[in-house]
Structure 1
Amino acid sequence: MQSTFQVLYQHDPSIGPRDEDASIMTKRFPLLVLGVIILLLLVFYSKWYPEPDRVSGFIEADEIRLGSRVGGRVAHVYVTEGETVESGAKLIELEPFDLLEQEAQLQFSLAAREADYKRIESGYRVEEKAQAKSKLEQLQARVDLLKAGPRQEEIEAARGRLTLAEVQKSLAEKTSTRLTKLSQEDAISRQELDNANEAVQAATANVVVRQQELNLLEAGTRIEEIREATARVEEARQAWQLMEHGYRIEEQEQAKAARDAAHAALEAIRRQKEELSIQSPIAGAIESLDLQPGDIVASGAPVLSMLDKNNLWVRAYVPQNRVGIKVGQRVRVTVDSYPNQPFTGTISFVARKAEFTPNNVQTLEERSKQVFRIKVAIENRHDMLRPGMMADVWLHPLDDGQ
């Protein structure tokens, strides 16, 4: 180095060490200016084109806990923990116990109520109406007969029977007198005399009976008998009118209500039978299941839980200075598993009230102490996403071209 300096110094004595440093700085100055310009351009670029805002969170899924409203003993378990099932797949089946017998009993009860309702709705049969009318006519004829009284022929016949009875009495008395004289002469036995006396008594009684019959016919029908018969006619008339008009509307409604109640009870049993089979309401994965055939399940208690793989969303927390997002806004979502494949998300929830930053929240500005919780629904195309994945939500909306 020294030899070189000596050579230069000898060649041009006017050049010294300080002049050489100035020459070097003059050559480097454009490079320094260029570096400063580049830094200024980067600053201006960062101001005019800032990096899009983003927050981080985890992908979550709706959890559905399934159970039965009737409970009972487990008959079959068709799935295992972690298994993926389709919507409508049978998961667990319970034993029916006495539901089958209750259903059969209610079916018979419903049939009886249905028949009774149809009978009341149809009204009385033609034969029943005709029978009631015939009874009315019979009782009316009886009243007319009582009002008309006995016929003259009947009275004359009664008088003839009375006359005959009197003749028979006179003959019996003559026979008795003759036999009494013969008895005094011991011409007849005591038995023959007794028989003659009894014949007189019988003839006398017969005359009395015949006389009463004649008196009854001549007196005619008693007013009490006519009133009784008239009341029976009115009763029969009302019964016939009742059959003609049919059942009251209240009776029809009562029969219909009884039928509907039996039908509702049967439907309730059938719904309980449906609850014996626990089916998947969605297409998802079995998250937890600890059940074996023979276990007893309480009514209304969850027996397994599922994750809805078609309804994924990201839970994230947005600082106060970035809370300008709105529900329904479409944003871009990226995950670490697929860094080059962004997904489309939709803001489905923004908390109205701020909260302190949870311990597991990751944001680009940790100085924000209060944040707003948001939910971003994700389109899980081709079934690529899974609950638990880390995801970044880019807060700039997709609709504005950014």
Structure 2
Amino acid sequence: MLNRSIPLSVAVVGLLALVFYSQWNREPPRVSGFIEADEIRLGSRVGGRVAVVHVQEGQEVTAGEVLVEFEPYDLLEREKELELTLAARESEYQRFLAGFREEETAQAKAKLDQLQARSDLLIAGPRKQEIQAARGRLAQAEAEKRLAVQGFERLSKLAGSNATSQQELDAAREALEAATANLDVRQQELDLLLAGTRAEELREAAARVEEARQAWQLMQRGYRQEEIDQAKASRDAAKAALQAIGRQKEELRVKSPIDGTIEALDLQPGDMVAPGAPVLSMLDRGNLWVRSYIPQNRVGMQLGQRLRLNVDSYGDRTFHGVVTFIARQAEFTPSNVQTPEERSKQVFRIKVAIENEDGMLRPGMMADVWLDEHGGAP
């Protein structure tokens, strides 16, 4: 009987030892997930016909590398047109900014002096010498008329006695008429000089002088500030339009914004692409992270907390990551996630950014996240 109880006692002691060992050496809590990377969809804001495709799916690219090029269509011609327009607007703005040239101002001043002299001449009226000359011409005309009258009367008497011809009489009559007309003209000239300048002419001359004076002062002051601002606005508008064409030209070349991997590309030269439509997608391998779900009893985890990770592809090698996101609301565990907790419980989604300095990790790898900061693979 004693021999039978000894093995039973040994078995019980062994079971108790295993229970105590399992209680004191439990595996640290962990969750699993897949390594993921941010996906970037690249395209062009102008679109158009594809000219060259420089990459293939799965190719590693660096930041700034040209991936796809589009045909420029009419952008080059529009750019040239805007360059010429900008040059014209710039010249016009500089002209307004510099003001009038000295020669233009001097010309305006000379015109003012000319009109002022003409006005002074009209105000002063005719000179005494001009009046005396007009009176002399009038006296001469009177003498010529008297002579013509005497000649005509003499020939008229001779014509009565048939001592002269009719032709000579007609000539004397014409000479008398011419002398009479000339006398009237000379009398009008003298009367005009004696009357002086009319008031209408004086007002007209004064108005022209004032107009020339204002034009000269305007040139001295230069262009108005509003005109300069308008010319500057036109120049800036042309410059902005040219810069817009420059940005459109930049959009003809789709460049990689980061170091990454081309994930999807279905594009050939000659394809038409709508403006703003994605033409390829790439993965940011420099920003890897694990999406996992933690049970409610681990919700006390803090942002920025440093954790350890293991990846199936590298056995027991340990990697490190930092918690960058913790969901505020709980959800039921997705069916593709394995946790040591009961699946009926609700969990919180987290993101753990992985430190991948050596570039060994890639999207799609399975990873275990040890929730104990000091934990690791057993």
Instruction: Give the structure-2-normalised TM-score.
Output: 0.94
Tell me the distance in 2 between the aligned counterparts of 1:361 and 1:29.
43
Cα deviation 1:148-196 (Å, max 9, x = unaligned):
1111111000000101111111222222233334445555544443232
Report the AA paired with residue 22 of structure 1.
L
Q: Which amino acid aligns with 2:142?
A: E
Give the distance between the partners of 2:374 and 2:164, measured in 1 at CA. Answer: 150
What is the SS of the residue equivalent to 1:124? Answer: coil
1:75 matches 2:75: no
Matches within 5 A, 1:374-393: 374-393=350-369
Q: Kindly indicate whether residue 14 of structure 2 is the aligned counterpart of residue 22 of structure 1.
A: no
Unaligned runs of 5+ in 2: none
Residues 319, 368 of structure 1: 8 Å contact kept: no
The yes-or-no answer on 1:364 pairing with 2:348 is no
What is the CA–CA distance in structure 1 between the aligned matches of 2:164 and 2:40, rounded to whole Å? 124
Task: List aligned pairs for 1:35-114, cutoff 5 A.
Answer: 35=14, 38-39=17-18, 41-46=20-25, 50-114=26-90
The 1:195–1:130 alpha-carbon spacing in structure 2 relative to 1, beyond 3 Å, is same
Corresponding residue of 2:275: 299
Count of aligned residue pairs for this structure pair:
376
1:196-227 deviations in whole A, cap 9, x for unaligned? Answer: 22221111111101101111111111122111
1:262 maps to 2:238:
yes
Contact 2:46-2:248 at 8 Å conserved across structures: yes
Q: Tell me the CA shift for residue 23 of structure 1.
A: 5.2
Are 1:220 and 2:196 matched, yes or no?
Answer: yes
Match of 1:328 in 2: 304
**Cα distance change of structure 1 residues 363 and 175 upon mapping to structure 2, 3 Å threshold:** same
Show CA shifts across 1:42-92 (max 9, x none): 14523xxx4221110111111100110011111111111121111111111
Amino acid at match of 1:208: D
Give the secondary-structure state (helix, strand or coil) at the position aligned to 1:287: strand
| Structure-1 residue corresponding to 2:373 | 397
Q: Contact conserved, 1:113 with 1:259, CA < 8 A, in 2?
A: yes
* 3-state DSSP of counterpart to 2:145: helix
TM-score, normalisation: structure 1: 0.88
Unmatched segments (≥5 aa) in structure 1: 1-20
For residue 278 of structure 1, what is the amino acid of its counterpart?
V
1:369 CA drift (Å): 2.7
Secondary structure of residue in 1 paired with 2:17 = helix
Contact 2:333 2:343 in 1 (8 A): no
The answer to whether residue 190 in structure 2 is matched with residue 246 in structure 1 is no
Which residue identity lines up with residue 345 of structure 1 in the other structure?
A: G
Give 2:95's aligned residue.
119
Match of 1:344 among 320, 329, 333: 320
1:6 maps to none
The alpha carbon displacement at 1:334 in A equals 0.9
Which AA in structure 1 matches 2:368? D
* CA shift for structure 1 position 228: 1.4
Q: Is the CA contact 2:292–2:350 (under 8 Å) kept in the aligned structure 1?
A: yes
The SS at the match of 1:383 is coil
1:320–1:368 Cα contact (<8 Å) kept: no
**Distance 1:78-1:189 versus aligned 2 partners, 3 A rule:** farther
The aligned residue for residue 319 of structure 1 is 295
Deviates more, 1:92-101 or 1:364-373: 364-373
Q: Which has the larger radius of gyration?
A: 1
Distance of aligned partners of 1:54 and 1:167 in 2 relative to their CA distance in 1, 3 Å threshold: same
Percent identity between the two aligned chains: 65
Q: Could you say if the C-alpha distance between residues 34 and 149 of structure 1 is closer, same or farther in structure 2, counting changes exceeding 3 Å? A: same
Residue 257 of structure 1: SS of its match in structure 2?
helix
Partner of 1:232: 208
* 1:298-327 Cα distance to aligned partner (Å, 9 max, x none): 001111111111111111111111112111
Q: Is the 8 A contact 2:148 2:172 kept in 1?
A: yes
Once the two structures are TM-superposed, the CA of residue 132 in structure 1 deviates from its matched residue by: 1.1
Q: Distance in 1 between matches of 2:168 and 2:270?
A: 104
Q: Which amino acid aligns with 2:91?
A: A
* Residue number in structure 2 paired with 1:13: none
How far apart are the structure 1 equivalents of 2:330 and 2:259?
Answer: 35
For 1:202-221, list aligned pairs within 5 A: 202-221=178-197
